[in-house]
Structure 1
Amino acid sequence: MRISPRAAGLLMGVALDAAFGDPRKGHPVAAFGRAAKALERRLYAKKRANGVVYTATLVGAAAAIGYAAERSARNGTVKAGVTAVATWAVLGGTSLAREGRVMAAHLERDDIEAARNRLGHLCARDPSHLDEAGIARATVESIAENTSDAAIAPLVWGAVAGVPGLLAYRAANTLDAMVGYRSERYERFGWASARLDDVLNWVPAGITAAITVACAPRAWRVLRRDGGKHPSPNAGRCEAAFAGALNVRLGGANVYHGRREQRPELGDGRPPETSDIRRATKLSATVTVIAAVAAAVAANGSSR
C-alpha cells in the first residue's frame, strides 16, 4: 500500500520526537513565544476585542507559514520531510514523559523541594504547600491532560490539515498557556486564546479518552460518570479516563495564581502515589503510539 507524504511525515515526526525530544536550544515554539510577548506589549488591553486580534494574528500567521512551507515542497519526499520536521517541532510527548520521570525520581528520593520547583514544567499550579501526595496528584493530572494537548491534538490536526494544522494548533495551545488564565490581567484579553484552545482540543480530548478506555476498559465507567464534572470538559474527559485506567482518585483543591479552586473528584480508587506517576507516563506513551498510527491511517486516506 502506498503511503501519502502527510502520513509518512507524521510517523517520521513521531519517531524524531521519540528519539530526540524537544531541542534544548532554538526551539521554534520558544521563538513563537517571544513574538507573542512582543505583540502583547503592543496590543494589550483589558478588552476581549484586543485579545481576539492578538489571537487571530498569531494563529493566522502560524497557519500561513505552514501553508507556505507545505506548498513550497516540490515533491512527495520533500513534503514528507517538511511534515516530519513540523510534527517534531510541535509534539511534546517525549518531553512530557521525561518530566514525569523526573518528578517521580525527585519524589522517590524524598526531595520534595526539588519536585515543587519542577512542577512548573507541567502545570501552573502553586506547589509551595504541596506534600508528596499533592505533587503526585498534580503530576498524574497534568500527564493525563497534556497527553491530549501535547501529543494527541497535534497529531489530529496534522492528519486533518497537514503542516498548517500542526503549526496553527501549537500556536493556539501556546497562547492559551501564556494568556489563557482567569487572572485580573488576562481574564478578558486572554479569553479568545482560551476559547480557541478549548475548541481545538474538543475532539482530541475525546480521542485521548477513547484510546485510554481501549487500553484499560475499566476506565469507561469512570469516564462516563465523571468526565463531565470537571470545569474543563476537555481536561475532565482525559483525567477521568486516566483515573479509571490507573484505578486512582483525582481532583481536589488546587491553587492557581493565588486563587483556590475546588475540583470535583474523578474516579473511585485511592489518591495517587509516587509510583502512579510512572504508570501514568507509560499509559500516556501507549496512548500516543496508538494515536500516531491512527493519525497516519487517517492522513493516508484524506490526503490522497
Structure 2
Amino acid sequence: MSFARNARGVAGGLIWDRVLGEPPNGIHPVALFGRAMGWLERRVWADSRLNGLGYAVAGVALGATAGAATRSTTVAVGVSVAGRELRRVAKTIEDALIAGDLNEARRLLPSLVGRDPSGLDESQIAAAVIESLAENMVDAVVAPVWWGLLLGAPGAAGYRAINTMDAMVGHRSERYENFGRAAARLDDVANLAPARLFALVVALVSPRQAGAIARIVRRDAAAHPSPNAGVAESAVAAALGRQLGGQLRYGSRVEDRPLLGDGPRPGPADVARARELTERVEVALLIGLIAMFPTRSHCGPAA
C-alpha cells in the first residue's frame, strides 16, 4: 500500500508542476539547497576525494531530511520536477531559431546547456536543445518520479540534492576533479534506472520507431561519455529520425562526442517535435502512476 500511496503522491507532484510551474528562484527549495551547499563547499573544499565524499553525504542527508520534513510526496516531487520549465525554455530558443534570429538563440542557449554557443549554427543549436531536452527529462522528471515512487518524499528530494550537487561540483575541472568525483558518481548511479525507463517510455509513445530506438540505443549509447545521457539522447535521436552528437565546445575545452542516431542533422522544426515527445513521455508516466493508485474493495453482506 505504501508503494501505491507513493504513486498517488508522485502523480500529484507531476500535476503540481504542470499547473504551477517553478517557484520563484528566491524561495525555490532547490535554489536554497544550492546556496547551502555553496556555503558548505567554501568551508570544506580541498583537492581531496575524501572531502568531496563528506560534502556529498552531507548534501544527500540534507536533501532527504528536507523531503521527509515536508511529510508530502506531492510537495517533494512538485518542487523537484521541472518538465514545464524545461519545455518553456526550449520553446523560447525554438522561437528564435524559427524567426531566423541566431544571435538571440545563441544568447538564450546557456539557460539550457553549458556549451559555448558563440560559433553554433542553426542546426547545432537545434541539436543542443534536443540533447538537453533528452538528458534533462531524465534529471528533472523521470528520476524524481522514480525515486519518489520507491522512497516517497525523502527519495525525490534526496535525488534532487544529488543532481544539484553534480551540477555544482561534478563537472570536469581542475578544482573539482577530485572534490566533485563522489557527487558525479552518485548522480550516475541514481540515474541508471531512470535513464533506461525514459528510453523505454520513449519507445512506448513512439511505437513506429520502437525497433529503431532499441537498435540505436544498443549501438550508440555506450560510446557516450555519460552512462545515462547516451541512453536518453540515443532514444530521442532514434524517435525523431535525426542524428545528434558531434563536436562540442565548453569555453576553451573541446569534446568530440560520438554521433548518435541515423538520418539528417536536426533543424528548428525538430525542436518542436522533441518537445512534443517529452510531453508524451510525461503524460505516459502520469497515466502509469494513476494506474497504480490504491483501490478499495467494498464487500457487502452475503445474500
TM-score, normalization by structure 2? 0.91
Q: 1:204 to 1:277 in 2, by over 3 A?
A: same
User: AA paired with 1:265?
Assistant: L
User: AA paired with 1:21?
Assistant: G
Which deviates more from structure 2 when the two are superposed, residues 112-121 or residues 89-98? 112-121
Please name the residue that 1:18 is paired with. 18
Please name the residue that 2:167 is paired with. 177
Please name the residue that 1:135 is paired with. 125
Deviation at 1:239, TM superposition (A): 0.6
How far apart, in 2, do the equivalents of 1:234 and 1:139 lie?
17
User: AA paired with 1:139?
Assistant: V
User: AA paired with 2:224?
Assistant: H
Alpha carbons 2:74, 2:153 under 8 Å: kept: no
Please name the residue that 1:43 is paired with. 44
Q: Within 5 A, what are the aligned runs for 1:140-179?
A: 140-179=130-169
How far apart, in 1, do the equivalents of 2:28 and 2:2 lie?
33
Identity of aligned residues (%): 44
Greater C-alpha Rg? 2
How far apart, in 1, do the equivalents of 2:189 and 2:290 lie?
22
Are residue 186 (structure 1) and residue 176 (structure 2) matched?
A: yes
How far apart, in 2, do the equivalents of 1:297 and 1:52 lie?
39
Deviation at 1:123, TM superposition (A): 1.6
Q: Secondary structure at the match of 1:228?
A: helix
How far apart, in 2, do the equivalents of 1:300 and 1:269 lie?
44
User: AA paired with 1:27?
Assistant: H
Alpha carbons 1:155, 1:292 under 8 Å: kept: no
How far apart, in 2, do the equivalents of 1:59 and 1:207 lie?
23
RMSD of the alignment, in Å? 1.9
Deviation at 1:213, TM superposition (A): 1.4
Deviation at 1:293, TM superposition (A): 3.2
**Which runs of no fewer than 5 residues in structure 1 stay unpaired?**
71-81
Deviation at 1:122, TM superposition (A): 1.4
Deviations 1:50-81 (A, max 9, x none): 111111101111112223433xxxxxxxxxxx
User: AA paired with 2:16?
Assistant: L
How far apart, in 2, do the equivalents of 1:53 and 1:201 lie?
21
How far apart, in 2, do the equivalents of 1:152 and 1:297 lie?
17
Q: Within 5 A, what are the aligned runs for 1:90-109?
A: 90-109=80-99
TM-score, normalization by structure 1? 0.91
User: AA paired with 1:116?
Assistant: R
How far apart, in 1, do the equivalents of 2:289 and 2:195 lie?
14
Deviation at 1:3, TM superposition (A): 9.6
